[in-house]
Structure 1
Amino acid sequence: MRPEPPRRIADYSPLAFPAVMLTVFFVVPFGIMVMVSFFRRQQGGFYTPDFVLESYARFLSTFFGGVLSFSLGLAACVALICVIVGFPFTYELARAKRWVQVSWLVALLSVLSLSEVIIGFAWSTLLSRTAGISNLLVWLGMMDKPVALTPNFGAVLTGMVYQAFPYTVLVLYPAMARLDPTLMEAARTLGSHPLKAFLTVVVPALRNTIVATFIMVFVFALGSYLLPQLLGRPQHWTLSVLITDQAVYQSNMPFAAAMAVFLVLVTLSLVGLALLVGRKDAAT
């Protein structure tokens, strides 16, 4: 059976409330933010309505271009690690016993219930010198004395991967559960090595899902705000941190709005690309 297309205006009534909410809480604020990004900043933290490209021109400077490159690169690293680790993990999880699947999914959902603040302070404690992992390594004889493993880029990357990994598994799991297990059995019957069969059968069969998952995790990591501040140095701050710094502490609302507009446009473009990939996956 095929669904009947809407023929009357009343048939679109279920979309009225979501459309109003989207307009009030996204379209209108985003439009205001776009207008403010073209305003002229005055001395003392004030700004006047105008149409200048000063904020966007400043955003293209070397310093802010470096922050943008770092934010995009960090998000790409987080997404790549999550997909590389999460894909085989989710594959084995989808083929495990039911109680094993339920246990792992509950554990992953419990991680999602933690706020970014709790995750950041937990990792800062684990990587600290006084009560961190280095004390365990000293007790095992692998280190001479405890050292602080934060703040640095590795700590930021670890915390963000920990936060994004449950999303990776939950996005990959439905596709993995629907995958026909006879594909691997057929490849093994024809004499293929398990690793080769996994790379040449399973990965190509779910390539669109992998791309969509990478994009979604990339978007999630791109908006990270607290973890770079809690686990990294100022040179490890992302674009989200810089937007807050310009808006709150530097009182430069037009420049903060310009950076926020760019971040929103990048995010919407990636989300649209993920939806397009998912639609192609559903069609095939």
Structure 2
Amino acid sequence: MRRDEPQRLADYGPLFFPAGMLTVFFVVPFATMIAVSFFQREQGGFYTPAFVFDNYARFLSLFFGKVLGFSLFLAVAVAITCVVIGIPFTYLLSRSARKIQVVWLVALLSILSLSEVMIGFAWSTLFSRTAGVTNLFVWLGLMAQPQALTPSFGAVMTAMTYQAFPYTVLVLYPALVRLDPTLTEAARTLGASPVKAFFTVVVPALRNTILATLIMVFIFALGCYLLPQLLGRPQHWTLSVLITDQAVYQSNMPFAAAMAVFLVLVSLALVGLSLYAGQQRQAK
């Protein structure tokens, strides 16, 4: 099929609607947020139009550095955990019978239908002292008495991994299904063990997909808002929680806007890095 280049303005008609939606729902709000981030905060929670860098200068404070460092560390930890668990799980799923694949995919999609509120309160119940999983450990004789597992970093990490894991599988699944099974069979014929064949054949073949999955889960975890509040302590709060705290409770909209701009720019930079890596891979 031959593709003709647009010759007149009407040929760009199909692009007008998505371009308009992108402008209204992304460009205009983001531009407004950038403008507010340079405003001057006044007493009483008010702010006036100005062009000051005080809000961005606060990024150099120790408090912001701790919150940003923890947010990045948590997002990286969740992304790596999801990929490390998701690759072998998805590989075994892609090699299973069709009925088993359907059951697991439906189960994963059902998790996506749950809101973050439901996931947060479900895990808070599982980690509670009265009705949590530690009561099962007591019944099995592994613990002397039940205890609460929240608030803690492990609870936040577990819940965020649970929430992001279905996205990981759904991104990896198409690439693993398309992977030629004769490649691993050839490696096994040449004497490689199943584990060695997996790491020397399957993982290198999914390099771009793994990178894209890491970036996607990282961005998803970086914007997590509710789970750190429900399952963690204030030191476990992410940058998204701090943005809400500054905007709603501290009435410091300019500083909240500056942090939101920073968060969006980091996400866009990672998406651009993923696209650039994919283009470089195709060029080779």
Residue 44 of structure 2: SS of its match in structure 1? coil
Comparing 234-243 and 191-200, the one that deviates more: 191-200
Q: CA deviation at 1:240?
A: 0.3
Aligned position for 2:254: 254
Cα distance in 1, alignment partners of residues 41 and 245 from structure 2: 16
What is the 5 A alignment of 1:167-206?
167-206=167-206
Cα distance in 1, alignment partners of residues 253 and 17 from structure 2: 31
Say whether 1:271 aligns with 2:268. Answer: no
Cα distance in 2, alignment partners of residues 9 and 95 from structure 1: 49
The Cα offsets for residues 131-188 of structure 1, whole Å up to 9 and x where unpaired, read as: 0000000000000000000100000000000000000000001100100000000000
The Cα offsets for residues 8-65 of structure 1, whole Å up to 9 and x where unpaired, read as: 2222111100100110111011111101100111011011111110000112211111
Amino acid at match of 1:69: G
Aligned position for 2:207: 207
Q: Cα distance 1:166–1:281, how it changes in 2: closer, same or farther (>3 A)?
A: farther
Aligned position for 2:20: 20
Residue 263 of structure 2: SS of its match in structure 1? helix
Aligned position for 1:91: 91
TM normalised by structure 2 equals: 0.97
Q: CA deviation at 1:4?
A: 2.8
Residue 75 of structure 1: SS of its match in structure 2? helix
Q: How many residues align?
A: 284
Residue 269 of structure 1: SS of its match in structure 2? helix
Amino acid at match of 1:56: Y
Amino acid at match of 1:20: G
Residue 96 of structure 1: SS of its match in structure 2? coil
Cα distance in 1, alignment partners of residues 121 and 260 from structure 2: 26
Q: Using the aligned pairs only, state the percent identity.
A: 75
Q: CA deviation at 1:202?
A: 0.8
Gaps spanning 5+ residues in structure 1: where? none
1:56 touches 1:258 (CA, 8 Å); kept in 2? yes
Aligned position for 2:150: 150
1:209 touches 1:281 (CA, 8 Å); kept in 2? no
Gaps spanning 5+ residues in structure 2: where? none
Cα distance in 1, alignment partners of residues 95 and 28 from structure 2: 46
Q: CA deviation at 1:269?
A: 1.0
Aligned position for 1:139: 139
What is the 5 A alignment of 1:112-127?
112-127=112-127
The Cα offsets for residues 42-98 of structure 1, whole Å up to 9 and x where unpaired, read as: 011011111110000112211111100100110000000000000011111111110
Q: CA RMSD in A?
A: 1.2
Q: CA deviation at 1:124?
A: 0.2
Cα distance in 2, alignment partners of residues 171 and 157 from structure 1: 21
Cα distance in 2, alignment partners of residues 46 and 12 from structure 1: 44
1:45 touches 1:252 (CA, 8 Å); kept in 2? yes
Q: CA deviation at 1:283?
A: 6.2
Aligned position for 1:105: 105
Say whether 1:51 aligns with 2:48. Answer: no
Q: CA deviation at 1:105?
A: 0.3
Q: Cα distance 1:204–1:2, how it changes in 2: closer, same or farther (>3 A)?
A: farther
Residue 45 of structure 2: SS of its match in structure 1? coil
Cα distance in 1, alignment partners of residues 111 and 102 from structure 2: 14
What is the 5 A alignment of 1:50-89?
50-89=50-89
